[in-house]
């Protein structure tokens, strides 16, 4: 029976670790993608959210099974283990924050907002809580060396300091980027023409043609190529610079 219990515990621990690894990678991959994005991919955001929700559910199942194997229903023994109590608290916060992400943040990111400044601040705060809490959950899970010297309030104090730092960074640097993503975007043709203007200055008016613009409406890549074809042959360097500047505009529309 002891061998069976040990094997079951090892399998549950492996599944728990694997679920956490996949979840934290998905969280930070989505964070990096959002920071690099020029537009919000609603479908990808929702798909990642569903994946993380499933993995979080698996974490709860495997974690609860491990606690039952080790402690049974002895709540006094649970409270006597500061590391385990702190981990349960952090995962509970992750779950509550995940609900906020799905019910509040995702709709804000994927729908037009009357107040992008306020909406971006909410998204930055909830996102920071998510990232910091996942990181801190990883820290608590691996805190075997310091766990004997730590109390439950000590773990939560460290979490509070980490959260304060994460919120400060998110509001200062992440919120402005999210707000830009929420602002209405100009027509793709206007963005192409802006790249043209930054390259050729006043000479841009000689390259623009209303007929070409109408013929390539909604097709920024084709419009950019058509304008590039109007650049005189002796201005190859300027043409290449224009195509380089317009490339991010074209890519962000697909």
First to last CA, the chain: 58
**What does the block give as tokens for 125?**
């705060």
Mean pLDDT of 119-132: 95
Q: What is the pLDDT of residue 185?
A: 65
252: confidence class by pLDDT, cuts 50, 70, 90:
low
Is 90 exceeded by the pLDDT of residue 175? yes
Query: Is the pLDDT score of 211 beyond 70?
Result: yes
Structure confidence by residue, pLDDT tens digits, 28-52: 999 988 888 877 878 888 889 999 9
What integer best gives the mean pLDDT of the chain? Answer: 87
- Mean pLDDT, rounded, for 164-172: 96
pLDDT digits (tens, 9 = 90+) for 152-163: 999 999 999 999
Assess whether pLDDT exceeds 70 at residue 73.
Answer: no
Query: 21: pLDDT confidence band, cut at 50, 70 and 90?
Result: very high
pLDDT of 74 higher than 80: no
Q: DSSP string of 225-244?
A: HHHHHTS-GGGHHHHHHHHH
Query: In the prediction, which pLDDT does 152 show?
Result: 92
* Residue 16 banded pLDDT, cuts 50, 70, 90: very high
Cβ density class 19-53: b for 16+ within 10 Å, e for less: bbebbbebbeebbeebeebeebeeeebeebbeebb
Residue 70 neighbours by CB distance under 10 Å: 14
Distance of CA 195 to the CA centre of its chain: 29
Q: Up-side HSE of residue 189: CA atoms within 13 Å toward CB?
A: 14
Residue 132 has pLDDT above 80, yes or no: yes
């Amino acid at each position: 029976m002891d061998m069976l219990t040990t094997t079951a515990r090892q399998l549950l621990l492996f599944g728990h670790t694997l679920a956490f690894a996949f979840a934290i990678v998905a969280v930070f991959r989505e964070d990096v993608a959002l920071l690099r994005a020029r537009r919000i991919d609603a479908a990808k955001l929702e798909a990642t959210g569903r994946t993380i929700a499933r993995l979080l559910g698996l974490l709860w199942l495997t974690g609860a099974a491990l606690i039952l194997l080790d402690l049974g229903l002895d709540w006094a023994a649970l409270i006597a283990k500061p590391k385990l109590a702190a981990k349960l608290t952090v995962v509970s916060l992750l779950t509550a924050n995940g609900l906020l992400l799905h019910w509040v943040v995702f709709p804000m990111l994927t729908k037009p907002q009357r107040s992008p400044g306020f909406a971006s601040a909410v998204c930055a705060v909830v996102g920071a809580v998510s990232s910091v809490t996942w990181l801190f959950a990883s820290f608590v899970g691996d805190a075997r060396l310091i766990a004997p010297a730590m109390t439950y309030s000590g773990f939560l104090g460290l979490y509070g300091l980490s959260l304060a730092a994460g919120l400060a960074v998110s509001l200062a640097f992440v919120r402005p980027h999210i707000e830009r993503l929420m602002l209405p975007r100009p027509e793709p043709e206007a963005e192409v023409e802006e790249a043209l203007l930054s390259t050729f200055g006043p000479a841009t008016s000689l390259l623009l043609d209303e007929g070409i613009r109408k013929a390539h409406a909604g097709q920024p890549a084709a419009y950019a190529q058509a304008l590039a074809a109007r650049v005189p042959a002796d201005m190859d360097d300027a043409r290449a610079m224009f195509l380089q500047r317009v490339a991010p505009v074209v890519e962000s529309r697909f």
